[in-house]
């Protein structure tokens, strides 16, 4: 006799009560301030920071600490690690009351990939920037944002005495450049354990053949419960196995959820 599997007393569509925390904008340095707030250098310069995120998301703008005014304003740029410009914006004057963290936003948020190197930078025509020597010797981490240790990436922070790509470094100096980053909404991951279950020919009704594991891609905690939606089609919400692979019946609902940390659902054989 052929067998199918059924989630007893329920139907096939997995849903959830509860949700992941909404994505919030994060930065590397927050409201921290430099030890050396104003370097005496008055040359026009572009200052930058190498960074990456362990999560995909978007950069709404570049932040940078200033304790000296610049009446000519600033330009901000976002580069890939190899120097391709992917975002830029400008302001004609200071955006806050000095000393402060300036922030200049892009016309539209710039998407970035996970675990991919970028450089956030700003240009000032009058120098007088923060400069903490060895401030990035150990790097910096905040949430999913990471500024690598200087020695691990050929120098961090970076600068150039031009409006171009900052590719020089000096003694792991932190020039206090930062980003406003919003991670993408995490995706839901579902897997089966064992990954390729089947129902043995002699399995009695009620035999556990697999568990469904549900996790958020970013590991966010879940404070809810998984439930089951109403049946659909003529299969009464049953799932079928084809060989060793799980196949959702074409006439039935698919599998979906809005759940979080690891949840397990028992799947049983039914004659």
- The residues, ordered by sequence, that sit 6+ positions from 164 with a Cβ below 8 Å of its Cβ are 46
User: Mind giving me the DSSP string for 35-102?
Assistant: SS---S--S-EEEEEEEEESS-EEEEEEEEEESS--TT-EEEEEEETTS-EEEEEEESS-SSSSSEEE
Composition of the chain by helix, strand, coil, percent to 5: 0, 40, 55
pLDDT (tens digit per residue) in 108-155: 999 999 999 999 999 999 999 999 999 999 999 999 999 999 999 999
- Please give the angle made by the CA atoms of 175, 86 and 160, to the nearest 5 degrees: 35
Per-residue confidence in pLDDT tens, the chain, 271 aa = 344 444 332 223 344 444 555 568 999 999 999 999 999 999 999 999 999 999 899 999 999 999 999 999 999 999 999 999 999 999 999 999 999 999 999 999 999 999 999 999 999 999 999 999 999 999 999 999 999 999 999 999 999 999 999 999 999 999 999 999 999 877 666 666 776 666 666 766 666 666 666 667 666 665 555 544 444 444 444 444 433 333 333 343 333 333 333 444 455 554 4
Query: With respect to CATH, is domain 45-183 assigned 3.40.50.1970?
Result: no
| Beta carbons of 14 and 126 less than 8 angstroms apart | no
C-alpha distances (whole Å) from 98 to each of 30, 46, 73, 92 are 16, 19, 13, 15
* 3-class secondary structure, 151: helix
Q: Furthest-apart CA pair in the chain: how many Å?
A: 85
The answer to whether the bond into 133 is cis (omega within 30° of 0) is no
* Alpha carbon separation from 270 to 78, 133, 203, 204, 252 (Å, rounded): 57, 69, 9, 7, 17
Contact indicator for 135, 36 with CB cutoff of 8 Å: no
pLDDT in tens, 233-244: 444 444 444 333
Domain ranges in the chain with CATH number 2.60.120.820 = 45-183
Give the rounded distance of the alpha carbon of 61 from its chain centre: 16
- What whole-number distance in Å separates Cα of residue 268 and Cα of residue 225? 20
């Amino acid at each position: 006799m052929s067998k199918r599997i059924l989630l007893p007393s329920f139907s096939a569509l997995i849903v959830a009560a509860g949700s992941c925390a909404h994505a919030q904008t994060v930065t590397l340095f927050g409201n921290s301030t430099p030890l050396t707030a104003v370097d005496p250098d008055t040359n026009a310069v572009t200052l930058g920071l190498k960074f990456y995120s362990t999560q995909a998301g978007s950069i709404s703008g570049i932040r940078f600490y200033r304790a000296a005014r610049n009446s000519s304003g600033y330009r901000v740029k976002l580069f890939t690690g190899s120097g391709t410009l992917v975002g830029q914006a400008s302001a004609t004057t200071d955006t806050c009351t000095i000393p402060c963290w300036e922030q200049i936003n892009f016309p539209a948020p710039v998407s970035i990939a996970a675990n991919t190197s970028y450089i956030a930078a700003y240009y000032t025509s009058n120098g007088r920037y923060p400069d903490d020597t060895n401030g990035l010797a150990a790097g910096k981490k905040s949430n999913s944002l990471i500024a690598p240790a200087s020695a691990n990436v050929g120098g961090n922070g970076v600068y150039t005495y031009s409006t171009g790509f900052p590719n020089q470094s000096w003694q792991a100096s932190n020039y206090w450049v930062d980003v406003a980053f919003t991670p993408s909404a995490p995706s839901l991951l579902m897997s089966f354990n064992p990954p390729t279950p089947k129902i043995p020919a002699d399995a009695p009704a009620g035999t556990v053949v697999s568990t469904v594991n549900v996790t958020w891609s970013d590991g966010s905690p879940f404070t809810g419960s998984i439930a089951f939606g109403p049946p659909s089609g003529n299969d009464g919400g049953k799932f079928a196995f084809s060989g060793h692979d799980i196949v959702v019946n074409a006439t039935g609902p698919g599998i979906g959820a809005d759940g979080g940390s690891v949840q397990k659902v028992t799947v049983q054989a039914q004659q």
